[in-house]
Amino acid sequence: MARYNKIFLGPVEKNKPQVREAIAAAALKPGRFVVDSSGEFALAGADTAGKVWLVQDNYLALEGVDDDWAADDTAIGIELEDGHLYAARIANGVNVTAKGAGLKLAANGTLAVATPGTDRIVAFAEEVFNNNTGSEQLIRIRVAGVPGPQGPQGEQGEPG
C-alpha cells in the first residue's frame, strides 16, 4: 500500500494543479517524472536536462497511486509549480537523511539523493525517509528553486 493516496499534496487553498494530457509512450506509474517525447509522455532518466512533468494519479477513473496508466492511454502530467507539495517516487535503497535534501532524477522517472554541486537538483525532500521497503515509495517533495521553511519566506514556505 502506498504511503500517500494522492500525487498533488497541496496546499488546498490554491487552485488545483495545472496539468497536461499526452499519450503514454509506456506504462506510467503515478509519482514518476516524465518528459515530452514527440508529443508523448516518456519516463525521464538520470540524464534528462529539459522540462519534466509528474505523472498524476488517474482520479478520472477512480484509480489510486499504485495503478499504472497503460501504454497508449492518455495520461495526465502535473506542471510543477512553486509553493506546491507533491508525492514523487524514490527507488528502493534510497536513504533521504534530512528534510531539505536535494533530489535528482534517477532511472525510470524516480528520484535519488543528489550530490550538491554535481547533480541537477529537481526537488527537495520534505521528509526524512529510508526506503528499505523492497520497492519504490512515494516521498513528499517540493520542486527545486522553492525556498523551504528556513528560506526567505514564511515558516511554511508561503509569503510571510
Mean pLDDT per 10-residue run, the chain (160 residues)? 80 77 97 96 94 94 94 96 92 95 96 94 96 95 65 37
**Which grid cell is 66?**
499504485
Q: What global pTM score does this model have? A: 0.85
Closest residue by Cα to residue 33 from 1, 100, 93, 80: 80
> CA triplet 143, 145, 150: central angle to 5 degrees?
95
- Could you tell me the domains of the chain? 8-143 (2.40.300)
Which pLDDT value is given to residue 5?
Answer: 83
Which pLDDT value is given to residue 49?
Answer: 87
Which pLDDT value is given to residue 140?
Answer: 97
